Structure 1
Amino acid sequence: MPTIIPFRAVRPTRDKVGLVASRSYETYSKKGRKFRMDRNPYSFLHIVNPGYKYHKEITGKKAFKLVRNRYQEFKEEGVFLKEEQPSFYIYKIIDRKGQEFCGLIGGASVFDYENNLIKKHEDTLEDREELFKEYLDTVGFNAEAVLLTYPDNADVASIIQETTQERAEYEFTTTYRDTHYVWPLSNPKSIATIQEAFKQMPQLYIADGHHRSSSSYLLAKDHQQNDPDYHKEATYNYFMSFFIPESHVRIHEFNRLIKDLNGLSKEEFLIALDTEFRIENRGVAAYTPSKKHHFSMYLDGEFYSLYLRKSNYNFKNTLEALDPQILYKTILEPILGISDLRNDARITYAGGKKDMIYVKSAVDKGEYAVGFGMLPLTMEELKQIADDGYTMPPKSTYIEPKLRSGITIYEF
């Protein structure tokens, strides 16, 4: 049932792709961005940080037209080219540990998003949706793909396998020691086979990119209402997505760091926890939970294991059984007084490679009073939450792979 389309990507020339490609803008520190931009005139960061040219920080709506200008300059200077014919783009990453992630980049339909053929598991913020919608409308392109998962499919896998035997159009390694490969796929027969395979799937799931997909949907609705030349096949009725089989997705946990104990002493806090958890002091050795509904905690120089008491295993739905929700409902909200997980400045989330050793370091520095860890969620949990119409607490999943920006660009 889902519809996916090939498109004519704007992309870097082969010789410059490794220079253009960047991580997402927000993943860099201010100092890190400047360091890279000072030394690399081709970095995509120059497009999304246009104030650099004027030695001035420019953000928000004022920056949108300047982003468009920088983008046009890259095209005029021949850094980018436009694909001659509509293509899918097979994208493979082999990370430093030898893990392989491989899928294809194409366009996903806003109508599938509207009709819940593309399923969500996360809430979006209205003001952020509107801001990014205006950004897309002003700059006229999207350079970061939404990550959509699909059930492993033999026909799609066969085409990917066959295509990746050829020389890649792009092959470059990042300073993270991840190697990226891209193959354009424009063969009409292969494209038709892939599209037919996706039409046979019941639905797709958003793994990462809820705001990007919702903003793209809002932009399409605006055009539908205001554009006299509106038609269903217009490019703004699709959004660039990285379609990846479920077996290639890696889900990591987000650990929680809390600035204070909400006025409680250490002893009072531990006694409060005892109502819901069986607590064991693990000493100074780093501890990571081994089962669902078990949590690790670092407090005052020591690790603790927290086992949810089995008398509390009376979950009424799939959301209540999620570990991030359990942590919220048993500790963060009732004991530590954190009810707004998105906006409360007392809580910080540590995802990806920021494990319990990172949590320990942050607490030992005095930046936080306590840290919590849990096991990562599974793909089955993510899908079930989406199927049941629930939304997870914010920062419940840190999902890989992470594509580089500026490698394939979707124009409206």
Structure 2
Amino acid sequence: MALIKPFRAIRPACDKVAFVASRSYEEYNQDELNAVLRYNPFSFLHIINPGFKFSKSVTGQERFKLVKNRYLEFLEDGIFLKDEEPSFYLYEIGMGDFKTLGLFCATSVEDYRNDVIKKHEDTILKREKLFAEYLQTVGFNAEPVLMTYQQDETISKVIDNEVSKEPEYDFTTTDKIRHRLWRVYDEKTVNHIKKAFEGIDSFYIADGHHRSASSNLLAENSEKANSKHSGGEAYNFFMSYLIPESEIKIFEFNRMVKDLNGLSKKEFLVRLDTHFRIEKRDDDVYKPSKKHHFSMYLDGDFYSLYLRKKIYNFTDELSQLDTQILYKTILEPILGIKDLRNDKRIAYGYGKYNLIVMKDSIDKGEFAVGFGMLPITIDEIKAIADAGLVMPPKSTYIEPKLRSGLTIYEL
């Protein structure tokens, strides 16, 4: 049984929301970032880049304290306002033919600990501690965890009824994405939504494993420091965006490796032949059409690699993932890449035209070989999470990507 709670969000004033909402900080190149900071005084980027005000680069605790100061200034200036009633927030993102409609709410660290909220990725303790320290200092969370749940008719009916009403926000950003948000604060409807979600057995983290792990660590630290801890404090919850499984889009990451680990091209192909049937495609761009099929670009030619299933040993859900197969048959034993997260010899790419980008990078000599595969499915993600297993890094690129600064959860 999943627990969700409404919360009193800090939100942009309606006339400023289109200027406040920003993409994730990592999505901006330096020129874009500087332009936004220079010409848009309302952007949420001013909060998370507080040193811009002083033309200074700041890090660590100094940055965290300045983030809090910029946040307080946005509140003082009326750019941000706090809702009077605890609310749920329905948020729709429209990208061409693709739309996703989900719910901003507070989810429970207890559910995270008890595996009601399920994970499929490992986290790095250093990053967990750093973000927990950040949350402790700034006192707010503006980055929701993206989670999915199995489609539920009762939940869908309630949500469909609410979005038939006039939205609180309705704006389009410069990347031609339409954003609409509805605030649900009627007590009867709020309770109806809470009750409906109690029928959901599990949430699955799609994006935000470090954010959820850091929120859990913050809750542990706060509980130890609070002699009057009751379990109802804000730090016992973290902001999430919940969407049905059908409204998530999953893309693959390609892998590019800088060298052949001392092997010649012929030696490398012979080694590959152990686990794969290899067909040369010349310079025709080849994208796999089935699971356990891979594309490879090497020395000016594309190849198709078909896994020899009688040779490869399927032992559990993880062993059936294409990213794991690629790691266990090629990247680790042949190319000598053991640490997929930190090895400087491997890089990752995603996107509609990434096979072309991969080809261009290899043709320029930046990499020696590249591999492509089909996206992992939501059923595979769930199977891994249910089995308590962990996917290799960069197994999935997931949309929607949420705007920062639309709803803020105060700790």
What letter is aligned with 1:6?
P
Instruction: Tell me if 1:350 matches 2:349.
Output: yes
What is the alpha-carbon distance in structure 2 between the residues aligned to residue 159 and residue 35 of structure 1? 41
What is the alpha-carbon distance in structure 1 between the residues aligned to residue 365 and residue 13 of structure 2? 48
Residues 108-123 of structure 1 mapped to structure 2, 5 A cutoff? 108-123=107-122
What is the alpha-carbon distance in structure 2 between the residues aligned to residue 371 and residue 52 of structure 1? 39
Residues 289-308 of structure 1 mapped to structure 2, 5 A cutoff? 289-308=288-307
What letter is aligned with 1:46?
H
What is the alpha-carbon distance in structure 2 between the residues aligned to residue 300 and residue 172 of structure 1? 47
Tell me the secondary structure at the aligned position of residue 222 of structure 1: helix
Residues 13-412 of structure 1 mapped to structure 2, 5 A cutoff? 13-96=13-96, 98-353=97-352, 355-412=354-411
* Cα displacement (A) at 1:160: 1.3
What is the alpha-carbon distance in structure 1 between the residues aligned to residue 41 and residue 362 of structure 2? 39
Tell me the secondary structure at the aligned position of residue 191 of structure 2: helix
**1:32-78, CA deviations, whole angstroms, 9 ceiling, x for partnerless residues?**
21122112111111100111111122123321001001111111111
Comparing 389-398 and 221-230, the one that deviates more: 221-230
* Cα displacement (A) at 1:227: 1.1
What is the alpha-carbon distance in structure 1 between the residues aligned to residue 43 and residue 395 of structure 2? 31
Comparing 74-83 and 165-174, the one that deviates more: 165-174
Structure 2, unaligned stretches of length 5 or more?
none
* Cα displacement (A) at 1:128: 0.3
Tell me the secondary structure at the aligned position of residue 319 of structure 2: coil
* Cα displacement (A) at 1:317: 0.5
Pairwise CA RMSD of aligned residues?
1.1
What letter is aligned with 1:69?
N
Task: Please say if residues 155 and 193 of structure 1, whose CA atoms lie closer than 8 Å, have aligned partners that are also in contact.
Answer: no
What is the alpha-carbon distance in structure 2 between the residues aligned to residue 151 and residue 16 of structure 1? 35
What is the alpha-carbon distance in structure 1 between the residues aligned to residue 2 and residue 220 of structure 2? 19
Report the TM-score when normalising by structure 2: 0.98
Runs of 4+ in 1 over 6 A off after TM superposition: none
What is the alpha-carbon distance in structure 2 between the residues aligned to residue 186 and residue 201 of structure 1? 21
Identity level (%): 58
* Cα displacement (A) at 1:26: 1.5
Residues matched between the structures, number: 411
Task: Please say if residues 106 and 240 of structure 1, whose CA atoms lie closer than 8 Å, have aligned partners that are also in contact.
Answer: yes
What is the alpha-carbon distance in structure 2 between the residues aligned to residue 301 and residue 114 of structure 1? 49
Report the TM-score when normalising by structure 1: 0.98
* Cα displacement (A) at 1:364: 2.0
Task: Please say if residues 262 and 335 of structure 1, whose CA atoms lie closer than 8 Å, have aligned partners that are also in contact.
Answer: yes
* Cα displacement (A) at 1:362: 1.8
Task: Please say if residues 10 and 82 of structure 1, whose CA atoms lie closer than 8 Å, have aligned partners that are also in contact.
Answer: yes
* Cα displacement (A) at 1:354: 5.2
Task: Please say if residues 275 and 312 of structure 2, whose CA atoms lie closer than 8 Å, have aligned partners that are also in contact.
Answer: no
Q: 1:377 to 1:306 in 2, by over 3 A?
A: same
